[in-house]
Amino acid sequence: MVLFCPTCANILMVEEGPDSGLRYACNTCPYICNIIRKVSTRTYPKLKELDYIMGGAAAWENVDSTDAVCPKCGHRRAYFMQLQTRSADEPMTTFYRCCNHSCAHNWRD
């Protein structure tokens, strides 16, 4: 939460007061407001599923397989696809899916 000075409209800074409590203080005028309670909330966004980002199950229909060891079941083959997830000057991200149909674990390199 960002507060602004009601006198000069500059941003208020949080500092320690003389009674070891916190207060809002303006750097340009003498305005001071003691903080009497702490209000804190955190909202975490829901993370997107890996399949949703890559186009769902249909994205894995026509992909090649390669030699890669699944970190979950140890199977030695995996399907793979490469997507540009960062800026153009960064390398592509390789996504893998285990060829073992009972596992079908997804990971990235």
99 is in an annotated binding site: no
70 labelled binding-site residue: yes
103 assigned binding-site residue: yes
The verdict on whether residue 33 carries a ligand-binding annotation is no
State yes or no: 26 annotated in a binding site.
Answer: yes
Q: Is 5 annotated as a binding residue?
A: yes
User: In 3D, which of 11, 40, 39 has the Cα closest to residue 24?
Assistant: 11
- According to the annotation, is 73 in a ligand binding site? yes
Q: Which residue bears the tokens 């030699």? A: 67
Burial 55-77 (b: 16+ CB within 10 A, else e): eeeeebeeeeeeebebeeeebee
Q: Residue 96, SS3? A: strand
Is residue 29 part of an annotated ligand binding site?
Answer: yes
| Residue stretches of the annotated binding site for Zn(2+) | 5, 8, 26, 29, 70, 73, 98, 103
Residues making up the annotated binding site are 5, 8, 26, 29, 70, 73, 98, 103
